[in-house]
Amino acid sequence: MVGTNENSDEFLDAAMRFETTALALNQFIAGRINFSDYVDILETCGVDIDQFLTAAIDNLALVY
């Protein structure tokens, strides 16, 4: 099937980025990394930091 390897590579890349961000979140919550390092990891994984921070601020506003 044409494109199977490319699709597999994209899937594996997305899975690795998801796992990396999940591990970073766990490390941040456990206090092993600071917020700046956490955001750097997210950015490296392709997360739109402006969108992420806007969502975080919006969520905090709901809590407080």
pLDDT tens string, the chain, 64 residues long: the values are 555 688 899 999 999 999 999 999 999 999 999 999 999 999 999 999 999 999 999 999 988 7
Whole-structure pTM over 0.75, yes or no?
Answer: yes
Q: Where are the alpha helices (DSSP H) in the chain?
A: 4-29, 35-44, 49-63
Give the pLDDT score at 54: 96
- Give Cα 45 distance to the centre of its chain: 6
For the chain, the domains span: 4-63
